[in-house]
Amino acid sequence: MRLGKPVERSDDVPKRIRNEAEIVLGQRKLFQRFLPGLVHAAIFWGFLVLFPTILIAMIGAVDKDATLPWLGHQGWFALMVDVFAVLVLCGVIAAFVIRKVQRPARFEGSHLGEADLILALIAGIVTTLLLWHASRIALGMNEWPASWSPVSDELSGLFADNGTTEVLERVFVWAHVLIILTFLAYLPHSKHLHIATAAINVYFGRTGPGGRIEPLRFDVPEEEMRFGAGTVPDLTWKQMFDTFSCTECGRCQDVCPAFATGKELSPKLLIMALRDQVFEEGPALVRSAEGFEPQPLVPNAVTDNVVWDCVTCGACVRECPVSIEHVDHIIDLRRHLVMMDARFPSESEQMLRDVERASNPWGKPQTERADWAEELGVRVLEPGDPAPEVLYWVGCAASFDERARTAAQSTAKLLKAAGVDFAILGPRESCTGDPARRMGNEYLFQAHAEQNVATLNDAGVTKIVASCPHCFNTLGNEYSDFGGRYEVVHHSELLAELVRDGRLATSAGEQPITYHDSCYLARHNDVIADPREIVEAVGKPVEMERSGKRTFCCGAGGAHMWMEERAGLINEKRAAEAAATGAETLAVACPFCTVMLDDGVRANGDELRVADVSTLLAERLPPEATGTT
């Protein structure tokens, strides 16, 4: 880890301590799946409580008449040991049943034999502990009142007060100690290394917004510059620690839309493959072995397809119980491929060229950017104009894509109807750089970020409303790294507020509407309630099974809007989930989701209208309110 590149993780100590309490001690993320969470919690909490018994057993193994001062004599502690030993045993049995009978698909590719051995060792540890205590009670050697340890007391009935039990008492305590030592010796060589690393990894996990990507620094001396991750020494220390912490639980794989649609990418196997390479090359790197050349991570650890399959939806990161940051790994692998090897899917080359040349991924002239607003009387902010109360950041999709434009027009009508003082930048707005950044082209992203920040700052903008969750995320979470600090809201948040304040009077409809959460809105930025408020204001909401922070991607994130999709299609899968609710309308709050899910619905042949929440809201306003006839 000392070889790892630096990354700042010493800030925000209170949040880190809170994460430690919630995620490690409280097992919050594991409880997202109740039964396996309960099984893990029983074993984990049991081990915390039983920890002093290791010391007690070691003392007892050396001297059968000695124990830990004070604690070894406490009845309450003996009771806790009995209760938790039984809980751990139940947890181990349940874990075996899950693994051997239920066999969830998420374990596919994990080291199952290792897990079985570890579970057997844990069962051995608690069984020998109970039998040791029982034999001591039978011999009258218990330092604690026997009535406080009901299970051991009951088991003591199996033993007589004789020489055989005296021998068995020694056998049990030594077996107990030796299994623990075997367990500890085996630990670093197995996936259960996470017992030692997980709590530390959680502490050093990201505390900021999930959608933010750590910028690369191009203003440092060349030897300190980093261009993503090409080989093991390019990884940051946190990325290395991530690989040591993976428990191979497969929770990330289970929620990954790429894996679910038959792509090569499995976030679990990605982390395991990186770990294998770190372990394989680590010793030689640490020794600075003469002539040792680390192998490229791509295609040595993972293939190019694995790197490009990701839609940066963040479902894996959210699910991971040990705070592994898969998206950061993938973006760093992409950065190296793009910036150092000029290696990326050929179909996205045009998009990168268009962002660079035309300032938008559609390659359209910037002069056409405000065409959608022509008949709506929207103010276009010219240099030197007074700043509006709120700047409407339209985004490239809503500016140039026919289907997405409707949402921009609806939003503008609604803002006007509510009397909001707003303006757009028109041709001076350029791509935020999000698709270039998610593709790994950090140069291109930073060039656009700096240009946009200069425009916004010159215009005196303080508050922005963004239609596109990707723009919303970049403007709100990433531009502050380049000197752009604004209050950024999503149009669904602002519109919901206007409805709440009575500035937009709506009439509720009867149509069943299901709302699809965009990953960059719900998961990365916690915007969940506001779009639903709009849906409730205009129709009858019906929830999909995967919603809110556990939403399923539309398939466009991570610059996939401009990539060919291999294997099954994510948008069709999601569109089918929406159709299964029986809703007539699929509400969205993202231009990419609009296009992707509309395509998905058409491909599936379903009768489902896809519309932005702003459009649904505008339709429920009286015509005179929006100035339409």
Q: Which residues bind ligand SF4 (CB under 6 A)?
A: 246-252, 255-258, 265, 267-268, 271, 310-316, 319-320, 322, 324, 326-327
**Alpha carbons 550 and 96: distance in angstroms, whole number:** 27
Q: And the tokens for 347? A: 């179909």
Report in angstroms how near the CB of residue 209 gets to ligand SF4 at its nearest. Answer: 15
Half-sphere exposure of 391 (CA within 13 A, CB side): 29
Backbone angles phi and psi of 192, in degrees to 5 = -80, 10
State which residue, 228 or 257, has the beta carbon closest to ligand SF4. Answer: 257
Question: Could you tell me which residues are beta bridge partners of residue 364?
Answer: none
**Alpha carbons 211 and 525: distance in angstroms, whole number:** 7
State which residue, 193 or 249, has the beta carbon closest to ligand SF4. Answer: 249
Contact 598, 615 (CB under 8 A): no
State which residue, 68 or 436, has the beta carbon closest to ligand SF4. Answer: 436
Question: Could you tell me which residues are beta bridge partners of residue 5?
Answer: 236
Report in angstroms how near the CB of residue 197 gets to ligand SF4 at its nearest. Answer: 11
Where are the alpha helices (H) located in 325-480, listed in sequence order? Answer: 326-339, 349-358, 396-400, 402-417, 434-439, 442-458, 469-473
Report in angstroms how near the CB of residue 237 gets to ligand SF4 at its nearest. Answer: 17
State which residue, 251 or 405, has the beta carbon closest to ligand SF4. Answer: 251
**Alpha carbons 570 and 258: distance in angstroms, whole number:** 7
Report in angstroms how near the CB of residue 277 gets to ligand SF4 at its nearest. Answer: 16
State which residue, 52 or 109, has the beta carbon closest to ligand SF4. Answer: 109
Report in angstroms how near the CB of residue 581 gets to ligand SF4 at its nearest. Answer: 23
Report in angstroms how near the CB of residue 106 gets to ligand SF4 at its nearest. Answer: 8
State which residue, 86 or 199, has the beta carbon closest to ligand SF4. Answer: 199
Closest CA to 74 of 22, 169, 142: 142
Report in angstroms how near the CB of residue 198 gets to ligand SF4 at its nearest. Answer: 8
Report in angstroms how near the CB of residue 295 gets to ligand SF4 at its nearest. Answer: 22
What own/partner pairs with CB < 8 Å and gap ≥ 24 does 381-385 have? 381/423, 381/424, 381/425, 381/426, 381/428, 381/459, 383/428, 383/458, 383/459, 385/423, 385/459
State which residue, 256 or 431, has the beta carbon closest to ligand SF4. Answer: 256
State which residue, 88 or 327, has the beta carbon closest to ligand SF4. Answer: 327
Contacts of 277 (CB under 8 A, 6+ apart): 232, 295, 297, 300, 301
Backbone angles phi and psi of 585, in degrees to 5 = -130, 140
State which residue, 322 or 373, has the beta carbon closest to ligand SF4. Answer: 322
Report in angstroms how near the CB of residue 519 gets to ligand SF4 at its nearest. Answer: 8
Contact 215, 302 (CB under 8 A): no
Q: 383: helix, coil or strand?
A: coil
